[in-house]
Amino acid sequence: MSSIAIKDVPARGGNLTSVPPLTDSERKPVTKKEIAADHPTWCPGCGDFSVLALYFKLIEKRKLWHEKITTIAGIGCSSRFPYFVQAHGVHYIHGRALPFASGVSLSRPDLHVFVFGGDGDAFSIGGNHFNHTARKNIKMTYVVMDNWVYGLTKKQTSPTSPPGFKSKTDTWGAVDQPINPMKQAIAAGATFVARTTHTNPNHVLQMMEAAMDHDGFSFIECLSECVEFYPGAFDASNPRKGGAFNLVPENHDATDEMAAYKLADEPFPGKFGVFYNINRPTKNRLEADINAKAQEKVKGLQPWQILQQNFDRMK
Ligand SMILES: Cc1ncc(C[n+]2csc(CCOP(=O)(O)OP(=O)(O)O)c2C)c(N)n1
Ligand code: SF4
Ligand SMILES: [Mg+2]
């Protein structure tokens, strides 16, 4: 992560104070080279590399300006994401990326906030935040890089690990019923719910773009293999490993909640694509409306006069 250095601020000539900045059409779009960190510290072959590469592709394709790129994460291997994007970003507290991102989203309507993280970060310690951010429909895109394991802490059972998975916390094999991220997201109130896998780059990019264009809380479960602690977990979804990558059928009605549940209930490898996509007013818009109405009432008053009025009312 870095703040914008003076050299990055687009300006004509060297005098930043007297020369007007370039207009959007005069500026050169940001390139991957400018925002990619030197060496992501993931293990060679980790699925997270491909998600990062596609995020860069998205930034280039959608011509996002440097100062508009906002990448937020919690803690985990996948959550190291913002370190590798040389733009505004936060590597926040474990499981707390969404509350932080909510604040950014609600206060900066000019940004589209991207949050990246793992299955543990999203559904264990961050489980409650996931549910509440989804139901509030706060505008952002949340990509959960699901590897069915805690990678950073070296192989503990995660909430998405399948029964029987042997880990440091379940040496005889996991016994708990795993979370189904897609069902969880739909039930919590997410208004855009999609599923993809790191082994299909075009599809990941397609899902990220659709999520970014959604006005609300958009959630993507992206299978992302941990080659160190759960190798081969997703082979059954990878045609190159003899598996099957099947798209959501064209006739699927993504506004039909029950149809979305049905897709989410299919056994692995299931389907890939947009399961659920509806329009519901965002918290961003509802709060902006309240603020606009309140401001209309106090039109013409200085901030101190508004404060005085409030104090007077309390007397
Ligand atoms: C409050 C707190 N509790 C526990 C930890 C230890 N911890 C760090 S990452 C992690 C889980 C990471 O798993 P996941 O979110 O699936 O990410 P991955 O590493 O698999 O990408 C845990 C338990 C922590 N850093 N902070
Ligand atoms: S431990 Fe697993 S998730 Fe973490 S960087 Fe290595 S391969 Fe990726
Ligand atoms: Mg994980």
What is residue 12's predicted lDDT score, i.e. its pLDDT?
Answer: 46
Instruction: Please check whether residue 168 lies inside any domain of the structure.
Output: yes
Average pLDDT of the segment spanning 58-64? 95
Give the binding-site residues of ligand 2, using a 6 Å CB cut-off: 42-43, 46, 48, 77, 147, 151-152, 226-229
Residue 296 and residue 148 share a domain: no
Instruction: Please check whether residue 241 lies inside any domain of the structure.
Output: yes
Instruction: Please check whether residue 160 lies inside any domain of the structure.
Output: yes
What is residue 183's predicted lDDT score, i.e. its pLDDT?
Answer: 98
Q: Is the CB of 182 under 6 A from ligand 1?
A: no
Instruction: Please check whether residue 38 lies inside any domain of the structure.
Output: yes
Residue 107 and residue 246 share a domain: yes
Average pLDDT of the segment spanning 229-233? 98
Residue 293 and residue 271 share a domain: no
Bond preceding residue 10 cis, omega within 30 of 0: no
108 Cα–ligand 3 center, Å? 30
Instruction: Please check whether residue 61 lies inside any domain of the structure.
Output: yes
Q: Please name the residue that has the structure tokens 């947009």.
A: 274
Flag the least confident range among 142-156, 202-216, 238-252, 291-305: 291-305
How many other CB atoms are found less than 10 A from the CB of residue 144? 26
- Alpha-carbon distance 186 to 104, whole Å? 24
Q: Domain containing 301: what range? A: 282-315
* 46 within 8 A of 197, measured Cβ to Cβ: no
Summary mean pLDDT of the chain? 93
Residue 124 and residue 181 share a domain: yes
What is residue 7's predicted lDDT score, i.e. its pLDDT?
Answer: 42
CA of 226, nearest ligand number? 2
287 Cα–ligand 1 center, Å? 33
pLDDT top residue among 173 and 14: 173
Instruction: Please check whether residue 40 lies inside any domain of the structure.
Output: yes
Q: Is the pLDDT of residue 136 over 60?
A: yes
Q: From the centroid of its chain, how far is CA 70?
A: 10
Residue 290 and residue 159 share a domain: no
* Percentage of the chain lying above the pLDDT 70 cut: 95
Closest approach atom of ligand 2 to CA 227: 7
What is residue 298's predicted lDDT score, i.e. its pLDDT?
Answer: 87
Q: At what angle do helices 181-188 and 257-264 cross, to 10 degrees?
A: 160
CA of 76, nearest ligand number? 1
CA of 75, nearest ligand number? 1
CATH code of the domain containing 191: 3.40.50.970
146 Cα–ligand 3 center, Å? 6
Residue 314 and residue 258 share a domain: no
Instruction: Please check whether residue 1 lies inside any domain of the structure.
Output: no
Flag the least confident range among 22-26, 41-45, 52-56, 288-292: 22-26
Residues in CB range of 78: below 8 A, 6 or more apart: 48, 51, 116, 117, 118, 121, 145, 147, 151, 224
Enclosing H/E stretch for 60? helix 48-61
300 Cα–ligand 3 center, Å? 53
Average pLDDT of the segment spanning 6-14? 45
Instruction: Please check whether residue 179 lies inside any domain of the structure.
Output: yes
Amino acid at 48: D
DSSP code of residue 7? G
Categorize the per-residue pLDDT at 11 as very low, low, confident or very high, splitting at 50, 70 and 90: very low
Categorize the per-residue pLDDT at 5 as very low, low, confident or very high, splitting at 50, 70 and 90: very low
What is residue 16's predicted lDDT score, i.e. its pLDDT?
Answer: 55
Residue 286 and residue 253 share a domain: no
Task: Give the tokens for residue 289.
Answer: 């409306």
279 Cα–ligand 3 center, Å? 30
pLDDT in tens, 138-176: 999 999 999 999 999 999 999 999 999 999 999 999 999
**Pocket residue to mutate for ligand 1, from 153, 155, 157, most atoms within 8 A of Cβ:** 153
**Pocket residue to mutate for ligand 1, from 83, 152, 227, most atoms within 8 A of Cβ:** 152
- Find the Cα–Cα–Cα–Cα dihedral 173, 179, 180, 181, rounded to 10°: -120
Q: Looking at ligand 2, which residue's alpha carbon is closest to its atom 2?
A: 226
Residue 93 and residue 22 share a domain: yes
pLDDT in tens, 43-59: 999 999 999 999 999 99
Residue 310 and residue 286 share a domain: yes
Q: Is the pLDDT of residue 3 over 50?
A: no
Residue 314 and residue 247 share a domain: no
pLDDT in tens, 257-289: 999 999 999 999 999 999 999 999 999 999 999
How many domains are there within the chain? 2
Residues in CB range of 88: below 8 A, 6 or more apart: 1, 3, 67, 69, 70, 71
- pTM (predicted TM-score): 0.92
What is residue 24's predicted lDDT score, i.e. its pLDDT?
Answer: 83
pLDDT top residue among 20 and 93: 93
What is residue 17's predicted lDDT score, i.e. its pLDDT?
Answer: 62
Amino acid at 127: G
Residue 314 and residue 264 share a domain: no
Residue 306 and residue 275 share a domain: no
